[in-house]
Amino acid sequence: MPHTETTLSSEEIFNGRVIRVTYDKVLLENGNTSTREVVHHHGGACILPVDENQNITMVRQYRYALGEEMWELPAGKLEKDENPFEAAKRELAEECGLTADHFVDLGVVYPTVGYDSEKIYLWAATGLHNVSQHLDEDEFLDVVKMPLDEALRLVLDGTIKDSKTQIGILKYAMLRDKK
């Protein structure tokens, strides 16, 4: 029998542009009650662009919450009820100035399962073509192309710390090596 918890009550604590936070009372499977603080997020879409020479395109941008610049695959948050695949293609064009002919579904990542509802949908993109980059007005980043094997090294040595980027690179590399 699967483990579960039942929501008894939910109080909204915060409702912002990116997240909503609730304080919930839950019934546990042993009959006791407990509380949960939950961050509700519409999710995100992430894409790993790979060219014909097995170079990938990433972005480097400052992340305020962590206080540091991060290496990341192009990605963005979903709007309410937005199709994740369309969002991934949009982010590829907006952030990197690329479109693609072919896409491979790399699955879904749950980055913080203890308190956050966010799901990030991952794809790889091949058959790349240049288009005009169009960043959001509050978005500043560098677009960097590097060999997939170099990106793998950066994941393994801890330089690339972002979970969706690590998972996307590792999953794509495993799929590539199985061919």
Q: Kindly name the residue from 52, 137, 139, 150 that is annotated as catalytic.
A: 137
Positions of the chain with pLDDT under 70: 179
Structure tokens at 122: 């991952």
In a domain, 13, yes or no: yes
Examine the domain organization and report whether 72 and 109 are in the same domain. yes
pLDDT for residue 176: 86
- Distance, in Å, from the CA atom of 77 to the CA atom of 88, rounded to the nearest integer, reads 9
Examine the domain organization and report whether 93 and 107 are in the same domain. yes
Examine the domain organization and report whether 114 and 145 are in the same domain. yes
Q: By the 8 A CB rule, do 112 and 97 touch?
A: no
Q: For the whole model, what pTM was predicted?
A: 0.93
Does the annotation count 150 as an active-site position?
A: no
User: Structurally, how many domains does the chain consist of?
Assistant: 2
Give the tens place of pLDDT for each residue, 17-54: 999 999 999 999 999 999 999 999 999 999 999 999 99
